[in-house]
Amino acid sequence: MLCFCLILLLGKISGGRMLSFSGLPGTGEVKENSPAGAWVYTFNVTLSPSNISLKGIPIIINSNPLTKAFRINPVSLLQYNVATSGDPILDYETMPHTFELQILVHDDAEARAIQILTVVVVDENEPPEFLGNLATQTVMVYILENTPPGIIYQFHAVDSENSTSTRLTYSWTPGEPFSISSDGTISSSKSFDFENDPSSYSLNITVTNGQRLSTSRMVIINIINCNDESPYFNITEKVFKIKEEQMIGEIVTTITALDPDGEIFSNSLRYSIAAPQGIPYFSINPDNGVIRVARRIDRDIVPLLQHPNISLEIHVEDSKGKSNSITIVITIEDINDHPPECQKYTFRERFLETISVRTVIMDLNNICSDHDAVAPNNLFNFTGLSGVGSHKFAQNPPGSGKIELVGNVDLENETEGAKENYILNIVVQDIVSTSYRNNIYIFVRILPVNEFTPVFSRPSYVFNASEILTVMSKIGIVTATDEDRPSTGISYSIVAGGGTQDYSDIFWIDPKEGTIQAVAQLNYEITPVYILTVQASDNENGIQTAQVTVNIVPENDKKPICSSNSHLLEVPVGLTTGTNINGLYISCVDQDSSPRSFRYFIHSGNVNNHFTFSPSAGSNISRLILASPFDYEGGLDRVWEYRLKVYITDDNLISMAERSTALIQTGSVTLTIKVIPNPTTVVPTTPGVTLLISRENVYFVSAWYVPFIICLGSLLLLGLLGYLTFLLARYIRTHCQPKPKEDKKPLIKTPEKKKVKKDVVLEMTNVHAVFDGEARDPVTGHLYEFNSKSGARRWKNTNVPPKSEAMDPVAQLMTTRTSPGQENLSRKEAEISARKQRREDNMASAPPEQKTEISDKDNGRKLEVPKEESLVNGSAVPPRRSPIPSPKIYPKYQSEA
Dihedral (CA of 356, 361, 365, 366) sign: positive
- What is the Cα–Cα distance from 84 to 67, expressed in whole angstroms? 11
Given a cut of 60, is residue 394 above it in pLDDT? yes
CB-based contact 508:530 (threshold 8 Å): no
For residue range 670-697, what is the model confidence (pLDDT) as tens digits?
A: 989 999 887 655 545 444 334 444 444 4
For residue range 183-202, what is the model confidence (pLDDT) as tens digits?
A: 888 888 888 887 788 888 88
Mean per-residue pLDDT, 539-567: 83
* Of 485, 504, 486, the residue nearest 496 (C-alpha): 504
Radius of gyration over every alpha carbon of the chain, rounded to an integer in angstroms: 80
For residue range 114-152, what is the model confidence (pLDDT) as tens digits?
A: 999 999 988 777 788 888 888 788 889 888 888 889 888
Q: What's the pLDDT at 868?
A: 39
> Per the domain annotation, does 250 fall within a domain?
yes
- What is the Cα–Cα distance from 648 to 625, expressed in whole angstroms? 16
In a shared domain, residues 460 and 434:
no
Burial of 175 (0-12, 13-18, 19+ CB in 10 A): exposed
- What is the Cα–Cα distance from 267 to 259, expressed in whole angstroms? 9
- What is the Cα–Cα distance from 762 to 831, expressed in whole angstroms? 9
Host H or E run for residue 258: strand 257-258
Task: Please tell me which residue, 278 or 566, carries the higher pLDDT value.
Answer: 566
Percent of the chain with pLDDT over 90: 13
Q: What's the pLDDT at 441?
A: 92
**Which phi and psi angles does 13 have, rounded to 5°?**
-100, 5
Quick one: pLDDT band at residue 522, thresholds 50, 70, 90? confident
* Of 144, 220, 212, the residue nearest 178 (C-alpha): 220
Domains held by the chain: number? 7
Averaged pLDDT score across all residues of the chain: 77
> Per the domain annotation, does 857 fall within a domain?
yes
Query: For the whole model, what pTM was predicted?
Result: 0.35
Percent of the chain with pLDDT over 70: 77
* Of 40, 47, 39, the residue nearest 21 (C-alpha): 47
Given a cut of 70, is residue 4 above it in pLDDT? no
> Per the domain annotation, does 148 fall within a domain?
yes
In a shared domain, residues 110 and 13:
yes
- What is the Cα–Cα distance from 265 to 322, expressed in whole angstroms? 11
Given a cut of 80, is residue 785 above it in pLDDT? yes
The partner residues of 536 in beta bridges, in order of sequence, read: 492, 544
Neighbours of 101 (CB within 10 A): 23
Q: Which CATH number fits the domain that encloses residue 105?
A: 2.60.40.60
In a shared domain, residues 782 and 889:
yes
> Per the domain annotation, does 688 fall within a domain?
no
In a shared domain, residues 219 and 262:
no
Q: What's the pLDDT at 719?
A: 94
User: Where among 292, 307, 333 does a domain terminate?
Assistant: 333
- What is the Cα–Cα distance from 9 to 230, expressed in whole angstroms? 89
Q: What's the pLDDT at 749?
A: 52
> Per the domain annotation, does 858 fall within a domain?
yes
In a shared domain, residues 92 and 183:
no
Q: What's the pLDDT at 543?
A: 85
> Per the domain annotation, does 766 fall within a domain?
no
- What is the Cα–Cα distance from 644 to 613, expressed in whole angstroms? 12
Question: What does the angle CA 636 – CA 639 – CA 640 come to, to the nearest 5 degrees?
Answer: 120
- What is the Cα–Cα distance from 508 to 493, expressed in whole angstroms? 8
Alpha carbon separation from 44 to 4, 21, 59, 116, 683 (Å, rounded): 19, 6, 13, 13, 191
* Of 26, 162, 37, the residue nearest 89 (C-alpha): 37
Task: Please tell me which residue, 789 or 297, carries the higher pLDDT value.
Answer: 297
* Of 844, 846, 887, the residue nearest 869 (C-alpha): 846
In a shared domain, residues 11 and 118:
yes
Given a cut of 50, is residue 896 above it in pLDDT? no
Helices (runs of H) and strands (runs of E) counted in the chain: 4, 59
In a shared domain, residues 214 and 247:
no
For residue range 696-735, what is the model confidence (pLDDT) as tens digits?
A: 444 555 567 888 899 999 999 999 999 999 999 988 888 7
In a shared domain, residues 439 and 477:
no
Mean per-residue pLDDT, 748-770: 49
In a shared domain, residues 427 and 464:
no
> Per the domain annotation, does 298 fall within a domain?
yes
Lowest mean pLDDT among 250-254, 255-259, 303-307, 749-753: 749-753
Dihedral (CA of 523, 524, 527, 530) sign: positive
User: Where among 122, 139, 164 does a domain terminate?
Assistant: 122
Domain that holds residue 364: 341-445
Mean per-residue pLDDT, 369-396: 85
User: Where among 409, 424, 445 does a domain terminate?
Assistant: 445
- What is the Cα–Cα distance from 142 to 318, expressed in whole angstroms? 23
For residue range 7-18, what is the model confidence (pLDDT) as tens digits?
A: 444 444 444 567
Q: How far is CA 727 from the centre of its chain?
A: 63
> Per the domain annotation, does 719 fall within a domain?
no
In a shared domain, residues 313 and 415:
no
In a shared domain, residues 536 and 568:
no
Report the first-to-last Cα separation within the chain, whole angstroms: 163
CB-based contact 880:777 (threshold 8 Å): no
Q: What's the pLDDT at 823?
A: 41
In a shared domain, residues 33 and 108:
yes
